[in-house]
Chain A
């Protein structure tokens, strides 16, 4: 039965995608294209493009997209629920133990050592996005002459506003999208 197939496919995606959205892509491809043959490879690459262009976690986006294309709204619900069931069970258990033991001083010592790493991981994600924004390239392919001045200006202005005033992050993100598009449109570059 189709819905059941989808459900089990996405439980596996949820269960085995450790380490962020991009790790989930090959897994989804394996389940949806190779094992169950629910989509062609071409449809799948469309899906990834759309999932990257829209907000939200890539695996939820994929679950919704695949579910909708294959079985409409029931498909969307089945795929998404399948995708989050493993997260829900595992994180609930981890949350329980974390809040039970986090004040124990020994646990604090261990957690303390992990915090600088988390800061570094967030910084690294920020640096990657900045390079994509300013050069449309990853760090190893950056050519300084290709810097996009509009994006650089928006980045500097946005960071200044964030440090100086209490503005919501969402207003900054949307504001930079709108401002940049208007500038490029006025320049006749779209």
Chain B
């Protein structure tokens, strides 16, 4: 893996902006990271971004910070990790520090409440846009196993409230069985 320090500023700037405008949980920022780092900057492959998401979801700590550590490491080693983390944590630190001084007014402001409510529609659109591309690529693999896993995982997390961690670990198990079967057939050296 080659390290490229010339990308540090872009890395910091991208993380800072994503973190400053990401409302709603960790998967929102993952969708935005996918758009930024895979589609726009072409730094990562799509599969890689999905792997990073699986790893961050299974590790302790805030998801965006975990993802920053890994993507930063990929781009410029430990220095990259630290740069990406700084970009991710500065916006919430600044915003909350300021708001904590007058949060009563902030919390009860009707315009802010309305903006936050309607913004959800925009956030949902961004996630759907990313999901359409990702799901399309899973379908393109034409592997029945993957397609069924994707649909089952969606039903499990969305309708049955199964935790993301359990879904990922289950799929890890299925992956290991798949590997054992593949090895038996001698498809993988």
Which residues in A have some Cβ–Cβ distance to B below 8 Å?
Answer: 14-22, 24, 46, 49-51, 53-61, 64-65, 68-69, 73, 76, 80, 83-84, 86-88, 90-92, 94-96, 98-99, 102, 105-106, 109-130, 132-134, 136, 139, 150-152, 154-155, 158-159, 162-163, 168-170, 172-181, 183-185, 189-190
Contact = CB atoms under 8 A, between A and B. Distances in A.
Interface in B50-105: 50-66, 69-70, 73-74, 78, 81, 85, 88-89, 91-93, 95-97, 99-101, 103
Contact of B154 (A99, A120, A177): A120
Contacts of B147: 116
Contact of B59 (A18, A58, A184): A18
Contacts of B41: none
A92 B57 contact: no
B100 A14 contact: no
Interface in B25-70: 25-28, 30-32, 35-36, 40, 47-48, 50-66, 69-70
A122 B73 contact: no
B53 A122 contact: yes
A124 B57 CA distance: 14
A55 B20 contact: yes
A90 B27 CA distance: 20
A20 B63 contact: yes
Contacts of B149: 113, 116-117, 120
Interface of B: 1, 17-28, 30-32, 35-36, 40, 47-48, 50-66, 69-70, 73-74, 78, 81, 85, 88-89, 91-93, 95-97, 99-101, 103, 106-107, 110-132, 134-135, 138, 145-147, 149-154, 156-159, 163-165, 167-168, 170-172, 174-176, 178-179, 182-183, 188-189
Contact of A54 (B74, B92, B164): B92
Which one of B24, B111, B119, B165 has the greatest number of beta carbons of chain A within 10 Å?
B119
A55 B19 contact: yes
B103 A60 contact: no
A91 B19 CA distance: 19
A122 B34 CA distance: 11
Given A19-B165, A122-B131, A159-B128, A49 B107 contact: yes
Contacts of B172: 110, 113-114
Contacts of B146: 112-113, 115-116
B117 to A, nearest CB: 7
B175 to A, nearest CB: 3
B70 A54 contact: no
Given A115-B50, A134-B121, A172-B126, A181 B115 contact: yes
B25 A46 contact: no
A178 B111 CA distance: 10
A159 B54 contact: no
Given A87-B65, A87-B66, A91-B73, 7 more contacts: A19-B163, A20-B63, A68-B100, A112-B146, A155-B121, A173-B21, A176-B121
